[in-house]
Structure formats: structure tokens, C-alpha cells
Amino acid sequence: MTTPAPLPPSTMERLGFIRMLHQQAVDQSRLPEPLNFTCVLAFYNAVELFLLLAGEHLGATLSERKPFTEKFYSGINQALPAGSKLDGEKSVHRLVEAKNNFKHAHLWPTSQQIQEMHDGAALFFRSNTPEIFGVTYDAIGMAALIPDIEANKLVEQASSAWQAADEAEAMALLHDAFLILLKIGPEANPTKDSPSTRGARVTGAVRKFSRDMYIWSKVRAIGFSHDDYRRFQTLTSESPEMNTLTQEDYAFCQDFVVKAARWREEDRSR
């Protein structure tokens, strides 16, 4: 078996963007009704962009005269090597129907449909990414979307650590990348390795309060909710039970850092 050629940076960047859209859809699907209804559009956009990129990557012929699902599955399957095929056709067909019903017929998705879209999209991306692009879905990082060199490097290291099953290191690296983007150094502990005195404890408490307020002001400026920030903090800096961390937890934290990076870049351009 030959090793697949490395993907062009532009392709990896587009895959990273698609993965970010997928994560946004997952986050939206967790919201209470009716706020979670828009996840239908987000799941659809992520899947459609993936199929468009897959067709371009394989040089597939996509007939515009055919319905959405048939156009992509027929064209891409013909371009794949013998014995390979695109997975998840039924779930994509249901997703397209749900999107059309929501957008054009004003029919709201049920909680069961949202869960099916959530599960179907996860299986779609995990099954088809290695089949089309020769890399696992987990190997797709979003570091390419982070202009800051130091934060970019940390996010890449976090991706490698996660793939190596070093969850604690991966989460710690994402936390460090976030602080770098906010231009915040490691948290100081004035009482560590020094005599514990009342004055030191008070000073440390004041510094921690000031630091927390500064971070929260930045978090609000980016547009994160308090719940999202607390979830990020809990997963990356409060030593959760590592055996309870899921791929969705990691993806959420990675997406959190990417959003912070894009906000900082936009803030710089003003």
C-alpha cells in the first residue's frame, strides 16, 4: 500500500474551515428550541462544502441537472477507485429534505431529526474524509485558520497530542494558545514555593480577580457566551477526568481558540 501524497495547504485549510462549520452545527444543535433549529442549515453547509471540495479534489464530473444527493454521489463515486464509495447517502438525503422543509416550507425540525442530523453528519465526515482525502477526520486541524505563529504552533501540537491519546496535554496546549491570543501570560501564584502569608494571599486574590475580569472582558468582546467560556475553562484548565473527554469536547475547544484568533486578526485590521 502506497502512502498518499500530502494534501496541498489550500485543501487542508478548506477542510479546517469545513470542520469548523461542522463544530458550529454541533454547538447549535445543543441549544434549546427554537434556537437549535438553525443547526439544519449549518450541518447542510458543512456537508455541501465537503462534497464540493471532494468533487474538485477528485476531478469528478458533477451534473447540475441531477438532484443534490444524486449529483454528488454519482459523480464522486465514478471518480473514486474501484471498490471505494462515498458513505452516508441516506443521511445526506434526509439532511437535504430537512433543510428544504425548514428553509422553504417553514417546517421546524423535530428533536429526533436534529439528533439524526448530528449523528449522521459525524459518521459522514469520519467515514468519507479518509476515503476521499487520505487523512482521518481527527487529523484535520484548524491551525491553518490561525494567523498568530505562536498560537498556530500550539494548536498543531495540541492536535498531535490528541491523536496520540494525550488528552491532558492537548487541552493544556489549547488553553495556552487561547491565553497567547489574548496576550495573557501564565497565571501567577505569589504563594507558590514561598512562605504563605496573609499579605501574599490577599495580593494573589486581587491579581487573580483582576486577571479574570480582564479575560472575561475579552471573551465578551469576541462574542462568546458565559456558558461557552466556562465550558472551555472547565475542559482545558480545571483538570477534568481525562477519561470522560470526548472528541466533541476537543473539537469545541479547538473551535473556541480559532474564533479567538479570527477575532484578534479582525481587531488588528480596524
DSSP letter (8 states) at residue 64: T
Q: Are 155 and 257 in contact (CB under 8 A)?
A: yes
C-alpha cell recorded at residue 242:
481525562
User: 146-269, what's its fold?
Assistant: Four Helix Bundle (Hemerythrin (Met), subunit A) (1.20.120)
Q: Are 107 and 101 in contact (CB under 8 A)?
A: yes
What is the three-class DSSP state of 118? helix
Q: At what angle do helices 39-58 and 89-104 cross, to 10 degrees?
A: 130
pLDDT at 35: 94
Taking the chain (270 residues) in consecutive chunks of 10 residues, what is each chunk's mean pLDDT? 68 92 93 95 97 96 92 95 93 96 95 96 96 90 83 91 90 92 59 49 66 77 83 80 78 90 73
Q: In which region does residue 165 sit, left (phi positive, over 0), alpha (psi from -120 to 50) or beta (all else)?
A: left
Closest to 57 measured CA to CA, from 26, 25, 18, 96: 18
| C-alpha to C-alpha distance for 42 and 65, rounded to whole angstroms | 24
pLDDT at 96: 97
| Cell 438532484, residue located | 67
Q: Where are the domains of the chain?
A: 9-139, 146-269
**What are the C-alpha distances in Å from 153 to residues 76, 121, 259?**
34, 29, 16
pLDDT at 192: 45
Q: At what angle do helices 226-237 and 247-269 cross, to 10 degrees?
A: 120
